[in-house]
Structures are given as structure tokens and as C-alpha cells.
Structure 1
């Protein structure tokens, strides 16, 4: 089984990418969040991989961090949640928000993902609520929130790194993106979500 791939990022599409490892191009399906933090082709990229073997195909699903892969595995244990739906969920809900949605029984948050209706959202909540405890989020825990569920927030350092990666994937040079990201985080005194950092940084970079 393939557990990870490290090679040149040859191509990025809406829901997949191609990674060239030693002249062999591997087609890897991924969430929009993972694709957003990949470097700009043809730079070197590393993705964690979940290999799914079917009768008619061997499919590779890529993840930027181990927590997202762990949640992908957990989501696909629910009847009606295939790989495509799991990636759709992870595209709109990063692990901390997904944990919060399931722990609090917030079906509305889950239905933001394509292919997830109210009935499937209820099934996800029912089957996974007791399995959330101990699941990784890839961020530093702060505690509080739903009983039995650890809600986490990113550190300023991790937000800055992720934001620079995302902006690099959008075509900006790291050298120009880094100082802008740092200024945005400083304005918010280090307490800011990744989406807001990227949004504000894009405004400055576009000027």
C-alpha cells in the first residue's frame, strides 16, 4: 500500500493533483483544503496517502496532514459516506470544526458539504459522536467546548505557515507572501483563523 508520496507536483485540478515520483505520475484525489496548501507546480510536494483497492481500480487519496487522513478513515466507516463525500466534508470542515459539529450534533454544518443531506448528516452524528474523543485535529488544544470533545485552535505559527503555503499555491512568491501574512496576524494580535489571514493577505497582495 502507498502511505505517502514525495515528488514534483505536476498538475493541480479542482479535486485532484498529479505527483511525479521518479517519472511516474500518480493521480491523487484530495480535499480543496489540501490542494490549497500544496506548492505551485512544479515544486516538490509531500502528501500522505490513503490507498483504496477496488476490483476495477487502485485509488489514491491525498492529505496535507495526518489528522485529515484519520478523519477520512473515520468518515468512510459510516454507511453512505464514500471517499467522494468524505473529501467533500473535509473540504468545508477542517478537523476541529468537524469534531465540533459532530460533538454538538450540528447537522447544518455537515450539510454544507456536497452530497450530505439531513438524513446522512444525522447518521454521521449518531454513529461518530462517541468515536470523536481522542481524534486528532492537527492543532494545539485549548480545551473547553462540547463535553467529551476537545475543541482546538491553531497557533499563530501554524496559521502563518499554512497561509503562506496557500498563497504560494495561488501563485504568490513566498518572499512576498510571508511579510504580509505576518502583518495580518500581528494586527489581530495572533488570534485569527486561517481563512481570515488568507482573505486579508490577498487584499494586500492585490494592491
Structure 2
């Protein structure tokens, strides 16, 4: 079972990338948001991997830049009717923290923005995710009579680091990519100041 790949990013296609690890090329299926945040072809890339097996198509690798994204993917695919393609679509429009907030608000419309996710499936996703953990955040159901907005997740180190870089005038796509690469280098337990310093190094500042 493959859990992580680190190698040279050889190709990036519409729905997957190819990572060359010591001469072996691994085809990794990724969401559009992940593909947009990858480094340039020829550079080193690290992806968190979820391996699946299908009787018809055989093994398949799904790649994510952070462990939280991979955990969200596995949680989503555990819901009846949510396949890998739909799970990736949800994460394209709602990263883990934003997905947690949408679930807390019972915002079915936000989930239904994902390609291939209709209103009924969006309702099932929101209903079944309540109370389930997702990395550093969890989908917490609101008590009867309590407005769902009170259950919003605590801001993550990723979000705060990206905000700090935005305040320095860095474009959002570059800020997110730099923070993701910093977390890959430092690990998910790194503190905010260390992540910001490493992200600035990624940006060459």
C-alpha cells in the first residue's frame, strides 16, 4: 500500500499527474485544485496518496498535498453514493476547513456546487459528515435550537499562514502553494511562525 510519493513531477494532465520516483513513473489521479498547486514539471513534488483497488480497472492512486485533504477524501468516499470522482469534486470547491464550516452551517447548496453532486447527494453528505473527525477540524452537529454557525471550526495553521502571506501582497494561488510545500517539509505539527518562514523561503523572499 502506497501512502506517500516523492519524486520529480514529470507530467500534469487534466485529471492526473505523473511522478517519476527513481525511474518508475506513477500515475496519480488528483483534483483540479491539487493539480493547480503542484510545482512546475521537472521540480520535486510530494503527494499524500490514497490507494484503491477496483476489480475492473485495478489499482489506482489518488494524490493530495496535505494529510487533511486525504483524510477528507477517505471520509467522503465512505458515504454511500460518493465515489472518488465526486469526493475530488467536493474538495475542489470546498477544502477541508471550508467543508467543515459548510457542514456546521448545514449549507447543502455549498456542497452541491461540486461537479456531479446533486441536491440529494449534497444533503446526504452534510447529514453523514456531522460529528465525524477530519484532521484538525471536525463536522460538529448543532444542538436543537442552536444556530449552526456557532459550530464553525477553529482556523487552521494553513489558513492563518495563507492570510499572513496575502497581507504581504502574495497572490492567493502562490500563497497556498508555498504554504502547502512548507507543511510538506515541516510536517502538520509545525507552528505558525515556522510555516510562514518556510513559505517565504519557498517564494524566494
Shared fold per TM-score greater than 0.5: yes
Q: Which runs of 5+ in 1 are unaligned?
A: 139-144, 169-207
Deviation at 1:151, TM superposition (A): 4.0
2:38/2:177 contact within 8 Å kept? no
TM-score normalised by the chain length of structure 1: 0.70
How many pairs does the alignment contain?
A: 160
| Root mean square deviation of aligned Cα | 2.3
- The answer to which of 31-40 and 68-77 deviates more is 31-40
Deviation at 1:32, TM superposition (A): 1.5
Q: What residue in structure 1 maps to residue 134 of structure 2?
A: 135
SS in 1 for 2:149: coil
SS in 1 for 2:131: helix
Q: What residue in structure 1 maps to residue 64 of structure 2?
A: 63
1:94 aligns with 2:95: yes
TM-score normalised by the chain length of structure 2: 0.71
Distance (Å, rounded) in 1 between the aligned partners of 2:94 and 2:163: 18
Task: Say if 1:48 and 1:167 are closer, same or farther in 2 by CA, change over 3 A.
Answer: closer
Task: Say if 1:158 and 1:21 are closer, same or farther in 2 by CA, change over 3 A.
Answer: farther
Deviation at 1:135, TM superposition (A): 2.1
- Superimposed CA distance per residue, residues 4-58 of structure 1 (whole angstroms, 9 cap, x where no aligned partner): 1011101111221010111111110111221122110011110000000122310
Where do 1:52-201 residues align within 5 Å? 52-56=52-56, 57-131=58-132, 134-136=133-135, 146-152=149-155, 154-156=159-161, 160=165, 163-164=173-174
